[in-house]
Structure formats: C-alpha cells, structure tokens
C-alpha cells in the first residue's frame, strides 16, 4: 500500500498537510508530541495549528480532552445512557427527540483502541502498520475533486462516500470503523469544532486502502481532463 499522495496533492493544489490517525504502542515514534491535558472541554481540533507545525496529538484514556472525544475514541462513559441522551437532545439540541437520539446511539459505536495510545498528526510512512485513517483538509473545489476520486473505481452501490451526522472526532475515526459505513467520510461538519478551522475548510477522511487507491489516479482520470483545468483557470482569473 502506497502512502505517497504527492501527485494528487499537487494536482488539486492541496497545501494543508495530510493528517493521520494512528492506534500505536510507542509514543516516541511520533515525537514531537502535544498533550491535551486533563481539562474536560478541550477539543482535539484546537490542536489543528500544532498539526500544521508538524506536531502530533497524543491521546490516552486518561488524557483525551473533551468527554465526547473520550467516549467516541476510547469508549469511556462519563454519563448513563439516559443522561447522555438528555444532554445531546435537551442541552445541545442535536436531535428532535430522545427516541431519535437513542436510535442513533444504538447504530453508532465508539472506537476501542488496540493499544494504550492514539496519535493524530502528520503522516509517517514508517508507522504505516498502525494507520487507521487519513484526512484531507480542503476547500469546496478540492472536496469536489476528492469525491470524484473516491467514486472513480467504485461500483454504483454501495456509495463510497457518506456525510454522516456526528462529532468532528467521530468523523475522523469511529464512523469509518462502524459496520456498513463507506470508506470515505465528509467531515468537519460539527459546528462545535468548526471554530478551530478556517471558515472555508472541510475535512475528507478515508481508509488507508482508499487513500492508496485515489493517490494512484493519473492523467487518464478527470485529473488530466478539461473540467479540472477550467476550474483552476477560473479560480486563478478570479483571484487576479
């Protein structure tokens, strides 16, 4: 499996570094590290600039930032199920009823790490064996191209991409691990975490297998055809 997405990134003009989520045993392999501490309301996306600076966020069951992240990335429960439902519906207003929220929670399972550590940061080819997902941070034009890339070799059914409801940290990892989910997710649609990203930026998270596949696209695909060239020319003209 190749993790070299350089041609794809260059063609799509994606300059924001790719971010990987790793379930791995050795923190030393991911240095320099940043730590979320033990404060219960620290969003993992508040470390976005740290990722751009080449640092990796180190998460554990004890030090994972917000409680939502603790639940979705480690399966740590801080409330009873009914307390969780009431919080998400009554306090946060995320579903129209408790019944709908219960049904959603029944269908969406948290991630349970194989190791004591999760790492979120720049791609590291030498840690490929522990890579769980790859995330592109992109503008709408680039997202459109990545959607085309994901479906390029995919059959009509099932769809290769979903835009599911969920928290930002869910969209980075657990949703791609849930049974029946496609290998790509449009993310950063959680308004609770968007304050940490530029306004025009969304996320596109994929499995390592799909990342390898879309990274192999060449000039025979839409990347080398007139539609993408015309789009980039139009954006260049508008910026001048």
In a domain, 83, yes or no: no
131 has which bridge partners? 22
Q: State how many domains the chain has.
A: 1
Structure tokens, 19: 């971010």
Q: What is the pLDDT of residue 2?
A: 67
pTM here is 0.94
Q: What is the pLDDT of residue 1?
A: 63
Q: What is the mean pLDDT of residues 133-146?
A: 98
Query: Within 75-167, where are the H helices?
Result: 81-86, 98-107, 140-151
User: Percentage of the chain surpassing pLDDT 90?
Assistant: 86
Q: Dihedral through CA 38, CA 188, CA 169, CA 160, nearest 10?
A: -170
Domain residue limits at 71: 6-75+110-239
Q: What pLDDT digit, counting tens, does each position of 14-28 carry?
A: 999 999 999 999 999
In a domain, 22, yes or no: yes
Structure tokens, 171: 């969209």
Please calculate the CA angle 56-62-66 and round it to the nearest 5 degrees.
70
In a domain, 58, yes or no: yes
In a domain, 235, yes or no: yes
Q: What is the mean pLDDT of residues 146-161?
A: 92
In a domain, 81, yes or no: no
In a domain, 95, yes or no: no
pLDDT at residue 131 is higher than 90? yes
Are 48 and 197 a contacting pair, CB within 8 Å? yes
pLDDT at residue 64 is higher than 80? yes
pLDDT at residue 99 is higher than 90? yes
């Amino acid at each position: 499996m190749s993790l070299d997405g350089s041609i794809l990134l260059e063609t799509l003009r994606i300059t924001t570094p790719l971010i990987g989520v790793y379930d791995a045993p050795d923190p030393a392999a991911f240095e320099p590290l940043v730590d979320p501490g033990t404060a219960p309301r620290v969003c993992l996306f508040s470390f976005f600039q740290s990722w751009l600076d080449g640092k990796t966020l180190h998460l554990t069951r004890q030090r994972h930032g917000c409680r939502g992240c603790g639940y979705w990335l480690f399966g740590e429960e801080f409330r009873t199920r009914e307390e969780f439902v009431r919080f998400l519906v009554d306090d946060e207003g995320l579903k129209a009823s408790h019944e709908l929220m219960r049904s959603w929670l029944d269908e969406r399972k948290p991630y349970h790490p194989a190791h004591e550590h999760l790492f979120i940061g720049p791609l590291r080819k030498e840690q490929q064996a522990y890579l769980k997902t790859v995330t592109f941070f992109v503008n709408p034009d680039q997202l459109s191209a990545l959607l085309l890339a994901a479906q390029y070799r995919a059959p009509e059914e099932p769809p290769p991409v979903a835009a599911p409801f969920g928290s930002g940290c869910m969209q980075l990892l657990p949703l791609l691990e849930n049974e029946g989910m496609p290998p790509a997710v449009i993310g950063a649609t959680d308004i609770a975490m968007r304050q940490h990203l530029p306004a025009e930026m969304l996320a596109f998270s994929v499995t390592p297998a799909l990342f390898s596949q879309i990274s192999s696209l060449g000039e025979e695909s839409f990347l080398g055809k007139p539609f993408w060239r015309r789009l980039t020319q139009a954006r260049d003209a508008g910026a001048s």
